[in-house]
Structure 1
């Protein structure tokens, strides 16, 4: 089976369902105060780009890039439906996010993920992300793992 990935509006019923499924998974693994979600409405704001993976028209995965400023972007809302996990959906969405961040000239990508997501950690680490301390305004928490990735741009480039 093959799938496609495209930038889409999160303000679609099927994408809302996908994000609700993601939220249910996250709430089953971490207490509510340790879940730092963007709502679907926040995902539709300027400065956020959302990618949706589809197979035969059905949404099977998502991911987003939130631009915080001209230097830093954040990977958000990464999710692949269970029956599609392990087939490269997340890896390909992350690749699109990294590519867009590089095209935008961002210097760094950061992310926060849960402490019970080893499959996600593997995807991030294979893509060149390294673990770090808390990023942006996230609190240090035993439920969070933080990653960063330096991109091609350097602030002192001539």
Structure 2
């Protein structure tokens, strides 16, 4: 297995906090809101942005790994997105949930989530900004918000996983204090992705 640490520690993090400030400038720091996936309208919104996230990830995995998400999970992308959204619906407010940032018209620009791992640590998941809203610091804001939320929920450790191709996210995570760790119990990526995946953690 290749040493994937170079994908994380080998990338410059200069200016990482303002990583996404390439477009119309940083947005004001408005707190992300927790969505209620038991409400059909909100569930549909999360299904929509989650499909965009997984379609992007699937394209990247195919390009680098020569297999697809459906190949490794044994179901279509649509079915997998619905399956993972249902998992999110079962996360109680005392454990985390799915959080979004909306524009003035109410459209979801970015999302992220927190769930509890088997060992009691928090896991940050689904950090994603729609392409038309990139360049405004939303990725950094999402991570900052989720770390604050995890701390308020009483977690002492936060973990996450990320593909080696998610280099912009690596800079945000590094700037937020995350360090490489071993693959952990409860992580979503199957074993076939291990050569292409990184696992990170930080204490709170």
Which interval holds the TM-score relative to the shorter structure? 0.7 to 0.9
* Structure with larger Rg: 2
Tell whether the 8 Å contact from 1:111 to 1:135 is kept in structure 2 after alignment: no
- CA RMSD, aligned part only? 2.4
1:67-95 Cα shifts (integer Å, max 9, x gaps): 12574010111100112223111111111
CA distance in 1, matches of 2:51, 2:36: 15
Runs of 4 or more, structure 1, over 6 Å off, are: 34-38
- Contact kept, 8 Å, 1:131 with 1:148, in 2: the verdict is yes
Tell me the distance in 2 between the aligned counterparts of 1:101 and 1:51: 12
Match in the other structure for 1:64: 113
Q: Distance in 2 between matches of 1:97 and 1:130?
A: 17
- Higher RCO (CA < 8 A, seq sep 6+): 2
Q: TM-score, normalised by structure 2?
A: 0.66
Query: Of the candidates 158, 170, 173, which is equivalent to residue 121 of structure 1?
Result: 170
- The alpha-carbon distance between structure 1 residues 68 and 137, as it changes in their structure 2 partners (threshold 3 A), is closer
Aligned to 1:40: 85
Equivalences, count: 151
| Cα pair distance change 1:103/1:69, threshold 3 Å | farther
Task: Pick the structure with more helix per residue.
Answer: 2
Tell me, in whole angstroms, the C-alpha distance in 1 between the residues paired with 2:36 and 2:140.
21
In structure 2, the gaps of 5 or more residues are 1-23, 62-67
Q: Which stretch has the larger CA shift, 32-41 or 104-113? A: 32-41
Q: Find the counterpart in structure 1 of residue 35 from structure 2.
A: 8
Alpha-carbon distance between aligned partners in 2 of 1:25 and 1:43, rounded to the nearest angstrom:
20
User: 5+ unaligned residues in a row in structure 1: which ranges?
Assistant: 152-158
